[in-house]
Amino acid sequence: MKKYFSFFRLRFSMGLSYRAAAWAGVATQFVWGGMEIAMFLAFYREEPGNFPMTIEGTVSYVWLQQAFLALFAAWMLEAEVFESIKDGNIAYEMCRPMKIYPMLFARAMAMRVSRAALRCLPVLLFAILLPKPYGLEAPEGAGRLALFLGAMILGVLVTVAFGTLIYAVTFFTISPEGLRLLVTSAMDFFNGAIIPLPFFPDKMKQVMEILPFAAMQNVPLRIYSGDLQGNGALRAVMLQAFWLAVLVAAGWAVMARAERKLTVQGG
């Protein structure tokens, strides 16, 4: 375990070095978050009372989504990993005295956490200082904040576990591009990155909420905004833990099979 933590620390330090890119990302997230909120406010003012979330909850959801974009973004799968699998350079990683699955898991976790660490505080401070209804609301009570933080940790772990499973499946493809495009599109749609899940039709939402994608950013952001409360919030967190166990087990199994028989394209 110590060697994987050392690998995490190394990748985390590397991620913190991209500060110019982080500030560019912060500026983009300010603008994008503002546009999303302006759009939602226009809908709420046109038909007040006809929406599944309060306007304050929706605004908080958007700002948290922008602040922690690096933790949950579907497109933040490393092109370098896909390329190393495709051209066979992943074989060098397999020669290290460590298992490939936890190594890739630690690498993905470090990349997401380091990028989020550089971007989240400026976005959160900016959002907190904005007046109503444009600003980020504080959570109601310490209990909700604690549940939100626990759900955030589980959500990030589920996201990383799903991404590492995709890396493992890539070992059995000739080119990762099709798989990558399909996965990022599905994640964006089903995890609430484009539209929060409460805004979908009821029957469709019930199906979407039991999928592994809903165990990513959907749960912590809705807990913070007050849309998930009480037993509903606890059930959602338990479902996060379930999907984390399933995805990690599936990733280990697929990666173990890939390690037993690796074919490098081109000889």
Q: How far is 169 from 173, CA to CA, in rounded Å?
A: 7
pLDDT of res. 15: 67
Q: How far is 86 from 108, CA to CA, in rounded Å?
A: 18
| Whether the Cβ atoms of residue 227 and residue 52 lie closer than 8 Å to each other | yes
130-134, 156-160, 255-259, range with greatest mean pLDDT? 156-160
| Whether the Cβ atoms of residue 11 and residue 114 lie closer than 8 Å to each other | yes
Q: How far is 49 from 71, CA to CA, in rounded Å?
A: 32
> Count of H helices and E strands in the chain?
12, 0
Burial class (CB in 10 A: 0-12, 13-18, 19+), 64: buried
Q: pLDDT class for 267, splitting at 50, 70, 90?
A: very low
Mean per-residue pLDDT, 236-248: 96
Q: Which two tokens stand for residue 166?
A: 């995709």
Q: Render pLDDT for 24-45 as a digit per residue (tens, 0 to 9).
A: 778 888 888 889 999 999 888 8
First to last CA, the chain: 34
pLDDT of res. 246: 97
The answer to whether the predicted template modeling score (pTM) of the entire model surpasses 0.75 is yes
pLDDT of res. 224: 93
Q: Which amino acid, residue 219?
A: V
pLDDT above 80 (res 197): yes
Q: Render pLDDT for 42-91 as a digit per residue (tens, 0 to 9).
A: 888 887 777 888 899 999 999 999 999 989 988 888 888 888 877 777 77
Report the run of H or E that residue 65 belongs to, with start and end. Answer: helix 55-67
Q: pLDDT class for 152, splitting at 50, 70, 90?
A: very high
pLDDT above 80 (res 142): yes
The dihedral of CA 170, 175, 176, 178: what is its sign? Answer: negative
| Whether the Cβ atoms of residue 84 and residue 104 lie closer than 8 Å to each other | no
Q: How far is 97 from 100, CA to CA, in rounded Å?
A: 9
pLDDT of res. 261: 65
* Residue bearing the bigger pLDDT, 194 or 245: 245
Q: pLDDT class for 198, splitting at 50, 70, 90?
A: very high
Give every CB contact of residue 221 below 8 A, 6+ residues apart in sequence. 60, 61, 64, 65, 192, 196
Q: Render pLDDT for 81-128 as a digit per residue (tens, 0 to 9).
A: 888 877 777 777 777 777 888 888 988 898 899 888 888 888 899 899
130-146 CB burial, b ≥16 within 10 A, e <16: eeebebbbebeeeebee
Supply the mean pLDDT for the chain: 86
pLDDT above 60 (res 235): yes
